[in-house]
Amino acid sequence: MKKYTTCLKQIISVVLVVIILVGFVWISLLRINHRLDFTTLWGYRYRLWQGFKMTLIMAFASLFVSLFIGSVAAVAQKAKFLTVSYLAKFYVQVIRGTPLLVQIFFFFYIIGTAWGVDNRYVAGVLILSLFEGAYIAEIIRGGLESIDRQQFELAKAVGLTPAKTFRLVTFPLLMARILPALTGQFASIIKDSSLLSVIAIPELTQITQEISADNYRLFENYFFLGLLYFVMTFTVSLITRRLERKYKHENSSE
């Protein structure tokens, strides 16, 4: 009987929340006399689909490149050669400390042009990866530092080579610790890719802005845009929840 009432409570609460949120948006729309018409989006479905694919491609490409850059930067910070270490630290601090918009303009119109990176898709992926790489570097660094020294001492005592230590000890422990943060970062990559619209890369936000310039239906267009981004990031978080469970089992000895 108790289980039934708590379940009922949950359902009622969910319904209430939905009513409150939808109600708030509805009243806001009434206040500005806006007539909703989502069918206006149907005519643009081909371009929206192209934009959706482009966002996914840019985000995925950036994921891999930024993971690489982040790993290198995290390890480089511990390098014995001081210049390398400082370079990595400087990179992380500056990139994390400046807005992506500033970086896009700086790297595309100045550095990119100076060194011949004219293809804006390549430039877009590189800029986004450079940006996210700095955050990933911090995540990895934090993860590495949180691993108990004992683990490494034990590995040495058991006679594991550095390579084996990494594969059997460091990597699984690191994964378990940083996977939640890394997914958050991948969701960020997907959302931050929207800023690439300022250099006219035809991803989802750029397409939506062009459509808005055509039909002025800001509410329908941007609501749908938000929905599409949410679908992408939510899918990512569902996938990583399964991955987290996998790594938790492997480390249950903790």
Partner 1 sequence: MKKFFVVLAVALMAAVLFCGCTEKKDELVVGMELAYPPFETKDEQGKPYGVSVALAEALGEYLGKPVRIENINWDGLIPSLETGRVDLVISSMTITEERAKTVDFSAPYAHAYLALLVNKNSPVEKVEDLNHPERIVAVKKGTTGHVYAQNHLQHATINALSAESACVTEVIQGKADAFIYDQLTIYRQNQANPENTRAVLIPFQESEKWGIAVKKGNKKLLEQINAFLKDFRAAGGFEKLTELFLAEEKKTFDALGFPWFFE
- Closest to partner 1 by CB, 66 vs 209, is 209
- Closest to partner 1 by CB, 14 vs 218, is 218
Binding site for partner 1 (CB under 8 A): 32-34, 105, 109, 113, 118, 120, 197-200, 206, 209-210, 212-214, 216, 218
Nearest distance in Å: CB 231, partner 1: 24
- Closest to partner 1 by CB, 183 vs 209, is 209
Nearest distance in Å: CB 180, partner 1: 32
Nearest distance in Å: CB 26, partner 1: 15
Helix, strand, coil share (%) of the chain residues, nearest 5: 85, 0, 15
- Closest to partner 1 by CB, 60 vs 222, is 222
The helix or strand, by DSSP H or E, that contains position 154, with its residue range, turns out to be helix 149-158
Q: Can you tell me the distance from the alpha carbon of 109 to that of 219, in angstroms, rounded to the nearest whole number?
A: 32
- Residue of 229, 208, 230 whose CA lies nearest to 220: 208
Nearest distance in Å: CB 212, partner 1: 5
Q: Can you tell me the distance from the alpha carbon of 20 to that of 28, in angstroms, rounded to the nearest whole number?
A: 12
Q: Can you tell me the distance from the alpha carbon of 46 to that of 44, in angstroms, rounded to the nearest whole number?
A: 6
> What are the residues whose beta carbons fall under 8 Å from the beta carbon of 15, sequence distance 6 or more?
none
- Closest to partner 1 by CB, 66 vs 197, is 197
Q: In the structure encoding, which two tokens stand for residue 13, read together?
A: 């609460």
Nearest distance in Å: CB 110, partner 1: 10
Nearest distance in Å: CB 219, partner 1: 8
- Residue of 36, 100, 37, 57 whose CA lies nearest to 204: 57
CB 175 within 8 A of CB 251: no
- Closest to partner 1 by CB, 14 vs 200, is 200
Q: What DSSP designation does 35 have?
A: P
